[in-house]
Structure 1
């Protein structure tokens, strides 16, 4: 807490300077009575009567240079009680050559020009909603907050484009149910407009943005004239229906599901999102790998409810949404004669609700609640008895609760100020029904503060965890503090991270390690404005000192150098180097108080990425690392990802990644008193194919294939006993028939073929075929071809599903309800 207060105090003393290098522009939005037809053709009478705003500025690759008159941009803006309307005139001397690669919603960084409306309805320099459209007609939306840029934020708005011999045009209708704003008579909004020209590798902005100083959201122009808005009821419904058929190992199962997502504007600033009868049957496959480490394997969130508008709940980084509806928290207790017949891998959700918004004074409030259903494992007991010389086998089954009815809750308060700073309070709570199950509560205080001139920034968090289990409560603590210079070519930073031995946020969060007391210091030089052949380059040096909190022991020192270069021809490349000192690893043994000593090591990696504007391009990355002392381990990896754009509709991306860790050693088994280590060669190969065919911005066919193979080979038959001083002694009596066999061969194959059609704004139909097959065994000496052959001897899981989601705006159907009443 002392560190938390120090961070706040240090920012109070920093100088207050203006961030703006030029005068802020002003745009007057005009109220209209007859809205334009949204077709991309700007021939409506309303557009002819409105004022024009132009005079754009250079932003990327730098602020230097002037914009050609024949590539000027003009803007017009209007509003009524239903929506905001924007027209963009994007002139170009050669319209036929404008890059226009087709893509689907939110894929706005394809090889196509794009235009962006960046609207801040609070004019606070932080919270902003961006509405994109590409020259091919693809739309996208993005929510910008203090430290997050979220394309998972999806609202329903309209934008159409057209083209003629003078350039291309964009016409927007942004309804108020896509925005949040204070309930005041006169609105205080701000806006900026961005135009990206792919051929010239340039981005222009309406209001000037000084590169390298502050955030781009702090440079918006002022919007005047918006007043007396009487918006309609903000209630939208997303009913969905889904049917799926699954074929596996001779069995066929067909399911039907339906549900409803609701968005309701409690006020003009706060929105309720609810999900009734959730169904996640079409979420993407997780990228499962062979996990040899001491920590759980985790995956990103694929469920739309937990990715859309979730930025407020991520304050403090103590909320990990995959815990909701994740694996049950308990395993069944078995007798020696019992075995588990069925055990669900995930918990079904009854419903989920979230409320979020921000007041006129900049206070953000968020509330999220989900209820997990009671989950059972089925256990079979086999009892064998002798009756009159005859063996009688009796089988009985019982159900055991492995996850009770569970409530997951997140509550957030986030006060923003000064156009670049905030302090936040967040609490997560997991309450499980029944005294035998554990409950958890975590509270965090977070700050992110900068001076008005955006010269320096201090940030940090203080986390308190409480876990109650078996009638006892265990409390833990974590703190982080970082201070950095954020302006100019030369920058520096330093930080401190601390956690005691009792910290545990993993019931609704994600934290692999506790018991640390770490320090870091670093500096960097960055080219902000283009120079010569380079648009940008950066050099970064970081030194870290890691130690335990209890006992206070150094665990590792390290130094790392990173570099990045980007040329005027859109070629990017870089090289990294790092030197790690001898490490005392207290996690690898899986036993409290024990540690493994790993020798010092030196490694380097590099990458090159070619110009994606060309039909053929590729990414190439490689790395090597070697260990010193008495450890002969040598790691290397290479990743090659070529892509070819056959046309504006068809794009094929391949990727192959090979990794090898030779003479690696690590944990294989342990008893209460002994820890066994083994020498192994670890190899992995991952191949991916992604084929996208876009019929237009609304319909697409996608094929995605992933095959991952990995082996951990202990055929050298060299095993060690871990000594108390972290060293290891070779042993000859490790018996894999008695103790755990550490040899591993893992192979998994996933294939998705999907057709998606956005047949109306906010409405979508998706037809998905997928199959999956996986295999895990101890045949670690197999090569890739042999392992793949064995993989296809396993039963294949086929799934065919159809899902239809329809968008309903209450204001378009309220007449039906009135007639019914």
Structure 2
């Protein structure tokens, strides 16, 4: 590892000196468009022939971005920009010699399908953030907030604005009318905004830009042109109020004797969302009793390793502007703020006596939440979130009709504050975050933290035309609670302080707090020439805990990583571009043990016919896991080699596909994996799109953990050989009647089945050979009766210990049909039908039979709801 790191440092040093001049030479002069105040107001119907547009000049001379950067595009594009006191008006002329080939694909809002134009406005002029407005040739609108200088694009933003498009004999045209109230800018005599226009010719997979940005240039928003002429603009403070009403009916299989499961439920709900412009830079978002009934169901998943599963946030209130609150401090999904903790399912289930039934809440009700967020003209990015979830009670009835309540979740307050400050001509920033979770335990819930706090600072600095960067962060956490709560935290999968061979941590059942730290530092080259590289370190101390309002999968880890890439960015007769990269990482724990070492090579090719190929090869010569035996000794995995291969067809065609294969082989075939992926996209006509994604995975693991038991004065860590097969199919249908009315269907059956055999127990957990790591049970030591395995390890005729049959077959079926109508801008009507169910089937059945039984033989739960919103705008 030291040799590899030394070589990489030498390459970086040479690259910095060799390419610095090249980066400076590639600097492109900024283009400027000067807008004027309109005299007449145009009608936004997609046509651009009105004389209202005659007061400003056309701008053109677009340059191709992909596939052949720096050349003349197949067809040119023109635009005009004018304004009045409240709106920005933009006209687009997209020339095309073959208008009959223009792709007018209808889709839902933010579908981004077909020929389209993106208008990119950096009204903050911070050179890192932009508001992006998209119009397709079919008149479908889309909006995104681009952050991180173009590295992150968030389409959850849904402002009110107006657009339309038309196809004619010269190509197609579009008009946009954007309220200044939907943008953010400061007070200046003349506004100077970053500005660019991007045109996509879908059938050719070709993009062109008004302001040229070379492919080897680091950054995107920072390299945009400029919009001038916005003089004496009066900031428009935003005020939007959106009440909603939901009517819901649930139908499900009745349970005999259960008064709470009589076969159906009916309820009416309501709430309010509001958006208030405190200044033109900063906005206050409020929600009271939010409803997320139309949100798509989470995908099926099952975790055999014991660690928690990360699911993406899908609830609109938390998705919008999530980039402002984001604080990813390490690798993977680790984050100081994970909004799905707010409104989570209750921590407890009710305690029922014989003959009692309970009506338990599915989620904690959010009494109210507020977000104060935005970015000021002088470079401050600010986000403050406050939310309160209610005491949640299970209602319980006995056989004699008695009724009582039992609390299952305490009143909880969540607070998050985030800030960043740009400086050094927007080439650098420094920021911080603070989170707090406080629970009103009221003498109850001794297993939960009473309070949890975390904080961190982050920074990023770029230089030499943003070609080089250094970034990092450092965080701390502090949790408080009863001895029971803190002991539970010490025993959790993320920590396991009871590990028998750990000398740097120990379980202390008398503690009432834990304090931990973590962080990340990375340096690298991100632009200029053909080389890219980076290296860095991540660490998480053993006592770090973020899971009250953040996400943290594992602690006690130090990761060293490095990567080097070479890019072929000039198309040839064979390919459009190629990306080849080498990666290396190593992990250690805070005791000094090296737990992992991995090397990987990957190549991505975009072929000249718009097909793509991805190939990766990897080798893992060292692999240990501290948590595998759930508090037992450190476990050694077999050495691994892996390969993955994906290829896909031209996505601009009516039908396209992606196929993939992943293969992992281990020494002594201890833990082998094969995975097959196939995705099909089909658009039979412009209004209908179909997507089918199927994945099949098969794992054979000879040492899958099952349980831990006592054998005299010893611990027995019991393992078995698992044949684990998983199958999922996700179907999506989108039918767009017009740009404001659509019908969407989502369906996913998922099954994961595990069959166990060849049971064994741990002998020498870190031995190099499998036969030394484990000891197999002989036929005379193990017997099976009534779904229980009886072990007579000492062969004295008496059962020494037992464990339950671990075989499983988890089956989940989820569907969601949503009809959406945006009857006026910002106001919507939803009609939703959801059907689904979860069951555990007989593991002896085949995967297809289990799926068929779940869908056709089992009675599923149906939900019908109507949700109406109306947005009042001032």
In the alignment, the residues of structure 2 paired with residue 206 and residue 723 of structure 1 have an alpha-carbon distance, to the nearest angstrom, of 65
TM-score in terms of structure 1 length: 0.91
Is the 8 Å Cα contact of residues 162 and 168 (structure 1) preserved in structure 2? yes
1:484-503 superposed matches below 5 A: 484-487=524-527, 488-503=529-544
Q: Secondary structure at the match of 1:225?
A: strand
Offset from partner CA, 1:771-801 (integer Å, 9 cap, x none): 1022114x32211233234424433101111
Which residue does the alignment assign to 1:814? none
The answer as to 2:145 corresponding to 1:143 is yes
2:703 — aligned with what?
665
- The aligned residue for residue 815 of structure 1 is none
Kindly indicate whether residue 362 of structure 2 is the aligned counterpart of residue 324 of structure 1: no
Q: Deviations over 1:80-139 (max 9, x none)?
A: 22111111111222222211111111111x2x1111110011222111001001111111
Do the aligned partners of 2:598 and 2:622 also contact (CA within 8 Å) in 1? no
Structure 1 residue aligned with 2:428, among 421, 424, 433?
421
The residue aligned with 2:693 is: 655
Q: 2:500 maps to what in 1? A: none
Shift of residue 621, structure 1, vs aligned partner: 0.4
Q: Distance in 1 between matches of 2:408 and 2:732?
A: 38
Match of 1:637 in 2: 675
Give the aligned partner of residue 588 of structure 2.
547
Change (3 A) 1:189 1:380: same
1:704 aligns with 2:746: yes
Counterpart CA distance in 1 for 2:545 and 2:667 is 35
Quote the residue 2:607 is aligned against: 567
Q: 1:65 & 1:502 partners in 2: Cα distance?
A: 55
The correspondence of residues 578-597 of structure 1 with structure 2, limited to 5 A, is 578-591=618-631, 594-597=633-636
Deviation at 1:199, TM superposition (A): 2.5
2:664 to 587, 601, 625: 625
Matching residue of 1:6: none
1:608 paired residue number: 647
1:627-776, aligned counterparts within 5 Å?
Answer: 627-629=666-668, 631-671=669-709, 673-714=715-756, 716-721=757-762, 723=764, 725=766, 727-731=773-777, 732-733=781-782, 737=788, 738-776=802-840
Distance in 1 between residues matched to 2:170 and 2:609, nearest whole Å: 27
Q: Is the 8 A contact 1:584 1:595 kept in 2?
A: yes
- Aligned partners of 2:524 and 2:396: how far apart in 1? 56
CA 1:255 to 1:335, structure 2 compared with 1: closer, same or farther past 3 Å?
Answer: closer
Conserved 8 A contact 1:723-1:729: no
State yes or no: 1:476 paired with 2:488. no
Give the Å deviation of 1:619.
Answer: 0.7
State the Cα distance separating 1:429 from its structure 2 match: 1.0
Q: In structure 2, what is the equivalent of residue 361 of structure 1?
A: 378
The secondary structure found in structure 1 opposite 2:326 is helix
Distance 1:428 1:581, change over 3 A: same
User: Is the contact between residue 239 and residue 805 of structure 1 (CA under 8 Å) also seen in structure 2?
Assistant: yes
Partner of 1:308: 320
For 1:813, the equivalent position in structure 2 comes to none
Select 1:781's aligned residue among 826, 838, 844: 844
Contact 1:137 1:697 in 2 (8 A): yes
- Note if contact 2:364-2:390 (Cα within 8 Å) is conserved in structure 1: yes
Partner of 1:3: none
CA contact (8 A) 1:356 1:367 kept: yes
**CA shift for structure 1 position 187:** 1.6
Check the 8 A contact 2:716/2:761 in 1, yes or no. no
Within 1, Cα distance between the matches of 2:37 and 2:308?
A: 56
Alpha-carbon distance change, 157 to 18 in structure 1, aligned in 2, over 3 angstroms: farther
**CA 1:21/1:82 → structure 2, altered by over 3 Å: closer, same or farther?**
same
Q: Over residues 616-656 of structure 1, what are the superposed CA-to-partner deviations in whole Å (9 max), with x where a residue is unaligned?
A: 22110011111104x44321111112232211122222222
Alignment root-mean-square deviation, CA: 2.4
Aligned equivalents of 1:288, 1:46: Cα separation in 2? 54
Task: Output one character per residue of 1:12-68: Cα deviation in whole Å (capped at 9) or x when no partner.
Answer: x99897696222111111122532211111133220121221121121113232235
What do residues 695-714 of structure 1 show as CA deviations (whole Å, max 9, x unaligned)? 22222222222111110101
1:179 aligns to what? 183
Q: 1:432 aligns with which of 410, 432, 439?
A: 439
Q: Is the 8 A contact 1:294 1:587 kept in 2?
A: no
Whether the 8 Å CA contact 1:618–1:640 is kept in 2: the answer is: yes
Larger deviation: 272-281 or 692-701?
692-701
Q: Of the candidates 191, 198, 202, which is equivalent to residue 195 of structure 2?
A: 191
- Per the TM alignment, residue 330 of structure 1 is displaced from its structure 2 partner at its CA by 4.5
Structure 2: 5+ residue runs without aligned partners? 1-12, 255-262, 329-334, 484-511, 768-772, 789-801
Determine helix, strand or coil for the equivalent of 1:646: strand
Contact 1:669-1:740 at 8 Å conserved across structures: no
Take 2:346 and 2:34, find their aligned partners in 1: how far apart are those partners? 56
Decide whether the 8 Å contact of 2:167 with 2:173 is kept in 1. yes
2:115 is matched with 113
Residues matched between the structures, number: 778
CA positional deviation for 1:595: 2.4
1:683–1:710 CA contact under 8 A, matched in 2? yes
Residue in structure 1 matched with residue 32 of structure 2 by the alignment? 26
Deviations 1:411-451 (A, max 9, x none): 01111233343211011111111364411111011112211
Rounded Cα–Cα distance in structure 2 between residues aligned with 1:784 and 1:429: 45
**Structure-2 separation of matches of 1:780 and 1:463:** 45
Name the CA shift for 1:189/1:133 in 2 (closer, same or farther; >3 Å): same
* CA distance in 2: counterparts of 1:675 and 1:503, whole angstroms: 27
SS of aligned partner of 1:305: helix
C-alpha displacement of 1:398? 4.4
* 729 and 196 in structure 1: CA distance in 2 versus 1, 3 angstrom threshold: same
Provide the residue aligned with 1:385 in structure 2.
none
Q: Is the contact made by 1:485 and 1:492 (CA closer than 8 Å) also made in structure 2?
A: yes
Within 5 Å, give how 1:101-250 maps onto structure 2: 101-108=105-112, 110=113, 112-146=114-148, 147-250=151-254
On the 8 A contact 2:62/2:72 being kept in 1, the answer is no
Q: What secondary structure does 1:739 align onto?
A: strand
1:233 CA displacement: 4.0
1:796 has 2:860 as partner:
yes
Alpha-carbon deviation of 1:338? 9.8
CA distance in 2, matches of 1:648, 1:794: 37
Instruction: Return the alpha-carbon distance in structure 1 between the equivalents of residues 217 and 694 of structure 2.
Output: 39
Distance 1:508 1:691, change over 3 A: same
Do the aligned partners of 1:588 and 1:666 also contact (CA within 8 Å) in 2?
A: no
Alpha-carbon distance, 1:379 to partner: 6.0
Q: Does 1:454 align with 2:460?
A: no
C-alpha separation between the residues in 2 aligned to 1:128 and 1:616? 33
* Displacement after TM superposition at 1:671 (Å): 4.0
Flag the 1:555–1:336 CA change in 2: closer, same or farther, 3 A. Answer: farther
In 2, the alpha carbon distance for the partners of 1:704 and 1:327 equals 23
TM-aligned CA deviation for residue 336 of structure 1:
8.6
> What is the rounded CA distance, in whole Å, between the counterparts of 2:347 and 2:839 in structure 1?
25
Secondary structure of the corresponding residue to residue 218 of structure 1 = helix
Judged with a 3 Å threshold, the aligned counterparts in structure 2 of structure 1 residues 351 and 312 are, in CA distance, closer, same or farther, namely: same
Other structure's SS at 1:88 match: strand
Q: Distance in 2 between matches of 1:274 and 1:139?
A: 25
The CA distance in 1 between the partners of 2:575 and 2:647, in whole Å, is: 15
Distance, in Å, in 2 between the alignment partners of 1:711 and 1:453 is: 53
Instruction: Please give the per-residue CA displacement for 1:704-755, whole angstroms capped at 9, x wherever unaligned.
Output: 22111110101x2523246554732223458753534321101111122222
1:598 Cα offset (Å): 1.1
1:175: Cα distance to partner?
A: 0.5
CA apart distance, 1:380: 7.2
Change (3 A) 1:18 1:762: farther
